[in-house]
Amino acid sequence: MSLRKIPEVYVDADACPVKDETFRVAARWKAKTFVVANTWMRIPDDPTIERVVVPQGLNVADDWIAERVGPGAVVVTNDVPLADRCVKAGARVVAPSGRVFDAASIGMALATRDLMEDLRSAGQTTGGPRPFGPRERQAFLQSMEREMRRAAQDLARRPPEG
């Protein structure tokens, strides 16, 4: 008898524009989903979705997520330092735009983030994020589904516990 191994999903939810899309993908997988934020927010009435309200403070939600993820987890975040921590822990990470952060891309993402932060602190106008629309939502859904499959494969390769 083989047990189907199901990834867990962690959503960095405070400013996440793809919560509904995440819930749809997670529901297809019957995946336990943690919606982590520092304020209360409405979530679907579903026993597989858990609201986690963390205290206010710098990186408290990030710390909660990073301390719990590993191989077999999929994290939805646009926060590059959090993505870095999760990738290093073995988790799969998808940004709301559909961009996948992995070992090959996270270094460049961190460098770009740091450069943009330096430019902003020096008074340069760097512009805001691109508009978020149907194309980005579709890219997210495709990436999320692919990373769920990969996370399930990560779990299948792990030796049984016990």
Q: What CA–CA distance (Å, rounded) separates 41 from 51?
A: 8
3-state secondary structure (DSSP) of residue 79: coil
pLDDT at 119 over 80: no
pLDDT at 158 over 70: yes
Q: Are 80 and 86 in contact (CB under 8 A)?
A: no
Q: Which two tokens stand for residue 41?
A: 């927010």
pLDDT at 122 over 80: no
Q: Are 17 and 140 in contact (CB under 8 A)?
A: no
User: What integer best gives the mean pLDDT of the chain?
Assistant: 86
Question: What pLDDT band is residue 46 in, cutting at 50, 70 and 90?
Answer: very high
pLDDT tens digits, 73-93: 999 998 999 999 999 999 999
Backbone angles phi, psi at 73, to 5 degrees: -110, 145
